[in-house]
Structure 1
Amino acid sequence: MWRSIASNALTLFFVLLIAAAALVAWGRNEFVTPGPLADAICVQVERGASLAAVSRNLEERGAVSDARIFRIGAEYAEKSKDLKFGSYLIKPGASMSEVLAAITAGGQSTCGQEINFRIGVTTADVILRELDPATNAFVEVVKFSPGAGEVPAEYAKALESPDMRYRVTLAEGVTSWQVVQELKQADFLTGDIGDVPAEGSLAPDSYDVDKGADRTALIARMTEAQSRLLTQLWPNRSADLPYDTVEEALIMASIVEKETGIAAERRTVASVFINRLEQGMRLQTDPTVIYGVTGGKGALGRGLRQSELRRATPYNTYVIDGLPPTPIANPGRASIEAALNPEKTEYLFFVADGTGGHVFAKTLEEHNRNVEKWRKIEAERAAQGQPESGGSD
């Protein structure tokens, strides 16, 4: 009898063992196979949220087939305590494994709303935008100028959201004074800024920040980013440049940045100014003269006067030889690369071509012909009431 009981118990044990193994195999398969989600969704992980709460939310929204299996899989992968605050895009058919990776990887949120404080060359604006899960593209909710009056209701409400993301974006060519002045208008930042950072020392880029972040700490991040970039690019510079220091290269990069906004032209523009330096010619570039007039404190808002072109200032490259004493803006990576590795050309002149770009010339005679074409374009635009744009160097 006892032998029969033992035999039956052993049989039952093996059956249960096989069933358990089958259950584990099924669970593993459920964890890695495509999930039930038909359309992309945006999942929010709140600060301090538990895995149980997040898994129930995922099941209710159809992102996972079984919250228990999701939790077990997270425990098995040793990621149950790695939930990261933010909003995450879950794509159609994402497996539980992929969902877990999305909400535990950290870094920038991949969906939801964000406030982007953009500092441009002539103005700043604030954009509240939302990522549409269906298209994976941002949709603008509201846009306004900071400090221009009462803020839109949508923005005021967004500031109260615990899941809101914040970003500060610097355009290439902004001056350090502009950055400081505009950051004072960012109402989600805190703290005062002391002295204006050295011109050219801030890296134009997009910076993720937390609500209440310190302005001075953000400036330090921008400075560190530019320093890191220069350290990376300087060793790979061309061997025959007419300047010997990082600061001089940064000055050249800032001039290139202000002369053209077209990426494909930057190395060619840099070659023009380098050719002039090598031949002992003056740079004769308007942006440096403008910086001498404004001190980098905003746009000039008009054309240069002849008296300003003749006035002796450290930045008037129609009067001085060589480079001005400092950068005239904060150049981006592409302009720094152009200053360090310019195109090899024989160009000495360039003028606007009417399309937003420039046409280049090797001789003054050729340049004068190009200028005449540009003046005709300007005259035609003036007759049509269009604003002037571009110029020659």
Structure 2
Amino acid sequence: MRKAVSTIILSAVVLGFCAAAVIGYVFWDFLASPTSAENREVVYEVQPGRGFNSIARDLEAAGVIRNSGLFSFYARAIGQRSKLKVGEYLLNSNMKPIDVLSVITSGHSLARPFTVSEGLNIFEIASLYERGGFGTSQNFLKVVRDPAFVRDLLGIDAVSLEGYLFPETYQITKFTTTKELVASMVNRFLSNYQAVENAVPAGMDRHQVVTLASIIEKETGAPVERPLISSVFHNRMAKGMRLQTDPTIIYGMAVATGKIPTNITKADLSRPTPYNTYVIPGLPPGPIANPGLHALQAAVRPEASPYFFFVSRNDGTHVFSATYEDHAKAVRSFQMNPRARAGKSWRDLQTKQKKTAAP
């Protein structure tokens, strides 16, 4: 009798062990094996308030996991059911369930690049933001023109964050708010500004440095020229001369109308705006674009030069002059000469418009 009982118990133990082994194997095979050999990407969004079981069923229906019940059991066993992070995730049908769980609890939401080039102003960045499908340009401009937000980020009273949206590539998720993006852009500026803050010339504050850097950024497409461009403006300010830089005219018109003009006319040179440096003395009240690090460096480290003037060669570079007489010669050679303009100068564009309008 005892032998029979022992045999039954032993058999039960063996059967239990075998059953556990089979269950363990099935469970481990589920966790460690890809759902499919097929390489099929699935973008899945973990939304606020969704329960784990519901999400597991979604993933099974999408072919990302084979068994939602086992997936939920495993997540509970290792304490991950409550660790879900809201986000948009890139999954694949050839992923292991272990890896799927790791992704949807990571918080590393799917992101798209948003690239801001040097010299863009807030209007251009807002347009880029909308064209990329990240949000509306109207909302972007509302955020960067919020005085309280400007004060929180920079500690200054300014009409906008123009100049402080550092040009770089940013990663934006579906859940990144406009304020979060703008704050990261300003923080990137503050980090980069540390490289120049100890070289700021006496008599200039940070806002003036950024303003000058923005003008330098807009004035030349040749990086090697930035320190020379800077020297011209420093020399003119030291002599009490007006800066007389065309990009400030364009920006003043953009602020006034909400549209960036494609070209300027001779009459625009005397058009009064707070930014028109043909009319106002010194620097404009704020930046006219968002400069990169090299323009900031040029603003605080101008090249020593005798120059007070420069004029475009129409190829992105400039002729620099120490006297007005030499400058006038350069203007005649490159801006008043139709061959030198070759359709690139605003004066040439103005001539074409007049010819088109002529009866």
- TM-score w.r.t. the length of structure 1 is 0.59
| Inter-partner Cα distance in structure 1 for 2:181 and 2:272 | 33
- Which structure 2 segments of 5+ residues have no match? 113-121, 146-156, 354-359
Matching of residues 317-336 of structure 1 within 5 Å? 317-318=277-278, 322-329=282-289, 331=290, 335-336=291-292
Residue 290 of structure 1 pairs with residue 250 of structure 2: yes
Distance 1:25 1:254, change over 3 A: farther
Residue 121 of structure 1 pairs with residue 124 of structure 2: yes
Which structure features the higher share of strand residues?
Answer: 1
Q: CA deviation at 1:203?
A: 3.2
Counterpart of 1:179? Answer: 141
Residue 167 of structure 1 pairs with residue 135 of structure 2: yes
Q: CA deviation at 1:276?
A: 1.4
| Inter-partner Cα distance in structure 2 for 1:60 and 1:303 | 57
Residue 375 of structure 1 pairs with residue 331 of structure 2: no
Residue 274 of structure 1 pairs with residue 230 of structure 2: yes
If asked which structure has higher relative contact order (CA below 8 Å, sep 6+), I would say 2
| Inter-partner Cα distance in structure 2 for 1:279 and 1:179 | 35
The 8 Å contact of residues 238 and 341 in structure 1, kept in 2 or not, is answered as: no
The 8 Å contact of residues 168 and 207 in structure 1, kept in 2 or not, is answered as: no
- Which structure 1 segments of 5+ residues have no match? 112-118, 130-165, 171-175, 184-194, 388-393
Matching of residues 51-130 of structure 1 within 5 Å? 51-106=52-107, 108-109=109-110, 120-121=123-124, 124=127
Counterpart of 2:294? Answer: 338
Of 308, 312, 333 in structure 2, the residue corresponding to residue 351 of structure 1 is 312
| Inter-partner Cα distance in structure 2 for 1:5 and 1:352 | 104
The 8 Å contact of residues 346 and 362 in structure 1, kept in 2 or not, is answered as: no
Counterpart of 1:144? Answer: none
| Inter-partner Cα distance in structure 2 for 1:359 and 1:71 | 64
Residue 50 of structure 1 pairs with residue 55 of structure 2: no
Deviations 1:51-87 (A, max 9, x none): 2222223223321122222222222332212334454
Distance 1:167 1:67, change over 3 A: same
| Inter-partner Cα distance in structure 2 for 1:110 and 1:234 | 27
Distance 1:293 1:68, change over 3 A: closer
Q: CA deviation at 1:286?
A: 0.8
Amino acid at match of 1:52: N
Deviations 1:21-59 (A, max 9, x none): 453354234323333154222334444333222222322
| Inter-partner Cα distance in structure 1 for 2:21 and 2:206 | 65
The 8 Å contact of residues 167 and 206 in structure 1, kept in 2 or not, is answered as: no
Counterpart of 1:146? Answer: none
| Inter-partner Cα distance in structure 2 for 1:62 and 1:311 | 64
Q: CA deviation at 1:251?
A: 0.8
Let me know the Cα RMSD of the aligned residues: 4.7
Q: CA deviation at 1:288?
A: 1.3
Deviations 1:166-193 (A, max 9, x none): 63569xxxxx9x923999xxxxxxxxxx
User: Highest Rg: 1 or 2?
Assistant: 2
| Inter-partner Cα distance in structure 2 for 1:110 and 1:302 | 34
The 8 Å contact of residues 312 and 319 in structure 1, kept in 2 or not, is answered as: yes
Q: CA deviation at 1:95?
A: 1.7
Distance 1:273 1:362, change over 3 A: closer
| Inter-partner Cα distance in structure 2 for 1:196 and 1:297 | 19
Which structure features the higher share of helix residues?
Answer: 2
Aligned pair count reads 309
